[in-house]
Amino acid sequence: MSVAPDINAPLALKGQVLTFKEDPDQYDYWEKGCVVIEGGFISAVGEAGRVAVPDGAHIVDHGDDLILPGFIDGHVHYPQMSVIASYGAKLIDWLNTYTFPEEAKFSDQNYAKATAEFFFSESLKNGYTTGAVFCTIHPESVDAFFTEAERLGLRMIAGKVLMDRHAPDDLCDTAQTAYDQSKALIEKWHNNGRCLYAITPRFAPTSTPEQLAAAGALYQENDGVYVQSHVSENVDEIEWVADLFPKASSYLDVYNGFNLLGPRTLYGHGIYFSGEDIKLAVETDTSIVHCPTSNLFLGSGLFEYEKLRDAGARLALGTDVGGGTSLSPFATMKAAYEIAQFRNYSLTPFEAFHMLTLGGAKALHLDDKIGKISPGFEADLTVIDLNSTDLIRHRMKRVDSLANTLFAQIILADDRAIRATYANGSLVYERDSK
Ligand code: GUN
Ligand code: ZN
């Protein structure tokens, strides 16, 4: 993978430029735009010709390609790269049969390092520059992940998985080691460069009440850290949680009882939320990450995007690999569109791209840093070739609006459409490089 040389040399990228201002229907779009990057930050953006390009800037003309903020994957498991596309199981069987045996391998730092490198290379090839990422219970898996993230200059959120029951012995820690190891990893990695730490109880069934209490304490004690977990994904899982935590009024309320809801808490799925759950998520400022390819693949259920949106929830999109079937933003948006269709709502292309960029950044409470192409923002960008296959080129001849251009990409594009990815002002992936 190429890493561009000097982030201090000014860079000017020309092409079509699209960036959201606030909501999905509020955006800036320049058909012939220009983005200027200096010292890893965006210093100017606008119509080419009107934007001052600094003397000596390196100019890259992307022609008719579309420049967008780097994509945000709100929920993904890097150790599950090898169990993607595992046949014939729903959530709990899938965890026991495929996922836990694979995650046990991450006590080996070299295995973790090789997988982290492969994960980043695939993510960047798909235009993702930020992720909220589950590691495994092994601190080595976190070190391997952040070491590579730092080398590439990526803004990444990640953490050690916490599990002290209902998992194989070699994948269990305890409430105390979960606390101690997470604390040490926070000190080592949180706000180290662009890295941010997430306390990561896997999900309520694999943590004792003592461990969830330890996770809640870590969240309260450490400024700016994140929490990530799973909630309300599968009907059998929900019944199991109700048995394990009979006093809680719902699955989401289990986490509430341990001070694990609030700003910078990210919960994957949230498929079977009641009105009370949605209210609780919104009132506590908890973010929900919709993982559509995973929900279809594991037969988990159909997320209710419109309900959560209307309630004002912070929403991101996640690939959830390896329960999810693709690291492609297009496959993820397409599945979100298809699920919404089942719910009698047609997700707009702007809503889909918004969740991958500014909306995702809002869900991660990073919308003052990433998710927008605007002066002062960190220079993470994705460049899309809007004519990457014969079929797309054919379809694009009939396209007459920006909305339909985006929609054709959502339905038809794949990683061949990602021309280039920039992170922190540097080129970190280029499709046509030799
Ligand atoms: N619930 C608990 N662990 C997992 C996981 O690894 N993937 C998914 N999709 N759901 C989970
Ligand atoms: Zn997950």
Question: pLDDT per residue over 255-280, tens digit each?
Answer: 999 999 999 999 999 999 999 999 99
Give percent above pLDDT 70 in the chain: 98
Residues with CB under 6 A from ligand 1: 77, 91, 95, 99, 202-203, 230, 233, 294, 320, 323
Tell how far the Cα of 426 is from the centroid of ligand 2, in angstroms: 29
Query: Residue 308: what pLDDT?
Result: 98
Counting ligands in written order, the one closest to the CA of 238 is: 1
Closest atom of ligand 1 to 322 CA is: 7
Q: What is the mean pLDDT of residues 332-357?
A: 98
What confidence tier does 323 reach under pLDDT thresholds 50, 70, 90? very high
Closest atom of ligand 1 to 323 CA is: 9
Quickly tell me which residue has 């009440």 as its tokens: 209
Reference 33, options 360, 381, 411; nearest CA is: 381
CA 366, CA 191: separation in Å to the nearest integer?
13
Query: Residue 12: what pLDDT?
Result: 98
* Residue 247 predicted with pLDDT over 60: yes
Contact between 247 and 254 (Cβ < 8 Å): no
In one letter, which amino acid is 254? V
* Residue 202 predicted with pLDDT over 50: yes
User: What tokens appear for 335 in the block?
Assistant: 């599945």
Collapsing DSSP states into helix, strand and coil, what is residue 394?
Answer: helix
CA 80, CA 326: separation in Å to the nearest integer?
12
CA 217, CA 237: separation in Å to the nearest integer?
25
Write the burial class of residue 309 (CB in 10 Å: 0-12 exposed, 13-18 middle, 19+ buried): middle
Query: Residue 418: what pLDDT?
Result: 98
Give the closest residue (by CA) to ligand 1 atom 9.
323
What confidence tier does 1 reach under pLDDT thresholds 50, 70, 90? very low
Give the closest residue (by CA) to ligand 1 atom 3.
202
Name the pTM for this structure.
0.98
Give the closest residue (by CA) to ligand 1 atom 7.
323
CA 61, CA 361: separation in Å to the nearest integer?
27
Cα angle 275, 218, 142; round to 5: 100
Collapsing DSSP states into helix, strand and coil, what is residue 416?
Answer: helix
For the segment 30-52, what is each residue's pLDDT rounded down to a tens digit?
Answer: 999 999 999 999 999 999 999 99
Q: What is the mean pLDDT of residues 166-182?
A: 98
Q: Are strands 41-47 and 27-38 parallel, antiparallel or unpaired?
A: antiparallel
Tell how far the Cα of 230 is from the centroid of ligand 1, in angstroms: 7
Reference 182, options 169, 167, 164, 168; nearest CA is: 164
For the segment 87-134, what is each residue's pLDDT rounded down to a tens digit?
Answer: 999 999 999 999 999 999 999 999 999 999 999 999 999 999 999 999
CA 71, CA 89: separation in Å to the nearest integer?
30
Tell how far the Cα of 95 is from the centroid of ligand 1, in angstroms: 7
Query: Residue 434: what pLDDT?
Result: 58
CA 325, CA 397: separation in Å to the nearest integer?
30
Give percent above pLDDT 90 in the chain: 97
Tell how far the Cα of 51 is from the centroid of ligand 2, in angstroms: 42
Write the burial class of residue 210 (CB in 10 Å: 0-12 exposed, 13-18 middle, 19+ buried): middle
Angle, in degrees to the nearest 10, between helices 329-342 and 349-356: 130
Task: For residue 383, list its beta bridge partners.
Answer: 67, 420
Contact between 48 and 30 (Cβ < 8 Å): yes
Query: Residue 7: what pLDDT?
Result: 56
Q: Evaluate the omega torsion of the peptide bond into residue 322 and state whether it is cis, within 30 degrees of 0.
A: yes
User: What tokens appear for 146 in the block?
Assistant: 């952040």
Closest atom of ligand 1 to 320 CA is: 9
DSSP 50: T
Q: How many CB atoms lie within 10 A of CB 172?
A: 17
Tell how far the Cα of 280 is from the centroid of ligand 1, in angstroms: 22
Task: For residue 378, list its beta bridge partners.
Answer: 41
Query: Residue 6: what pLDDT?
Result: 54
Tell how far the Cα of 194 is from the centroid of ligand 1, in angstroms: 26
CA 203, CA 231: separation in Å to the nearest integer?
7
For the segment 382-434, what is each residue's pLDDT rounded down to a tens digit?
Answer: 999 999 999 999 999 999 999 999 999 999 999 999 999 999 999 999 999 85
Reference 31, options 432, 411, 401, 428; nearest CA is: 401
Counting ligands in written order, the one closest to the CA of 237 is: 1
Residues 6+ apart with CB under 8 A from 320: 75, 76, 77, 268, 291, 293, 294
Give the closest residue (by CA) to ligand 1 atom 11.
230
Q: How many CA atoms lie within 13 A of 115 on its CB side?
A: 29
Closest atom of ligand 1 to 99 CA is: 6
Tell how far the Cα of 76 is from the centroid of ligand 2, in angstroms: 6
Collapsing DSSP states into helix, strand and coil, what is residue 257?
Answer: helix
Residues 6+ apart with CB under 8 A from 274: 250
Query: Residue 9: what pLDDT?
Result: 85
User: How confident is the prediction for the chain on average, in pLDDT?
Assistant: 97
377-392 exposure pattern, b = at least 16 Cβ within 10 A, e = fewer: bbbbbbbbbbbbeeeb
Q: Are strands 314-317 and 156-159 parallel, antiparallel or unpaired?
A: unpaired
Q: Give how far Cα 323 sits from Cα of 246, 294, 315, 402, Å.
A: 28, 5, 19, 32
* Residue 363 predicted with pLDDT over 70: yes
Work out the end-to-end distance of the chain between its first and last CA atoms, rounded to an integer number of angstroms.
10
Q: What is the mean pLDDT of residues 299-310?
A: 98
Best residue among 80, 82, 95 to mutate for probing ligand 1's pocket (most ligand atoms within 8 Å of CB) is 95
